[in-house]
Amino acid sequence: MDLGFKVFKLDSSNIKSWDGNPENLETSLFDAVENIKTDRTEEDVLYEILLKYGLDLTLPIEERIIADKKVFNVGLGSLFICLADGITAKVAEGIGQWKEACAPEICRVIFKDNGFTDVAKTNAVQTLKRYGINEIRSI
């Protein structure tokens, strides 16, 4: 039942912590490839990012499917988040077009780091820069 508000509870981070112990180095490296805990949803990570950025949890959040990937638009274009796998330049192009439609004063984009290959990441970054988005991060 939708009552018009969300309820949150404090939990552990959605992102696995790094174990820098040299005795477990090989295990830590392989474990770090997928750095988001398996039992967490994209929405869980979304709200953690909002908290870490110091953003209000009441900001409007819109979802859109771009090139078969879920993209979140937070604060009317001030922050775009895509936590999907298989991200391509088409996703970045869609985000850039969405950003232009929103015309925010400041715009940031956050991707899941292992959501794309190095080549796809480089192409996505260059595509976003063409749209005037220079603050691009990955988790």
By the 8 A CB rule, do 98 and 73 touch? yes
Taking only the tens place, the pLDDT of each residue in 3-21 is: 777 777 878 888 767 667 7
Mean predicted lDDT score pLDDT of the chain: 89
By the 8 A CB rule, do 110 and 139 touch? yes
For residues 60 and 93, give the distance between their C-alpha atoms in angstroms, rounded to a whole number: 22
Please work out, in degrees rounded to the nearest 5, the angle formed at the alpha carbon of residue 50 by the alpha carbons of 43 and 37. 45
Poorest-pLDDT segment among 18-27, 68-77, 86-95, 121-130: 18-27
**Token representation of residue 70:** 């879920």
Q: Residue 19: what pLDDT?
A: 67
For residues 46 and 14, give the distance between their C-alpha atoms in angstroms, rounded to a whole number: 10
* pLDDT at 96 exceeding the cut of 80: yes
Phi first, then psi: give them for residue 120, nearest 5 degrees.
-65, -35
Q: Return the bridge partners of 138, or none.
A: 111
Taking only the tens place, the pLDDT of each residue in 112-121 is: 988 999 999 9
Q: Residue 44: what pLDDT?
A: 93
By the 8 A CB rule, do 102 and 134 touch? no
Instruction: Categorize the per-residue pLDDT at 30 as very low, low, confident or very high, splitting at 50, 70 and 90.
Output: low
Query: Where would I find the beta strands (DSSP E) of 6-125?
Result: 61-66, 69-74, 79-82, 108-111
Instruction: Categorize the per-residue pLDDT at 32 as very low, low, confident or very high, splitting at 50, 70 and 90.
Output: low
Residues shown for the chain: 139
By the 8 A CB rule, do 93 and 59 touch? no
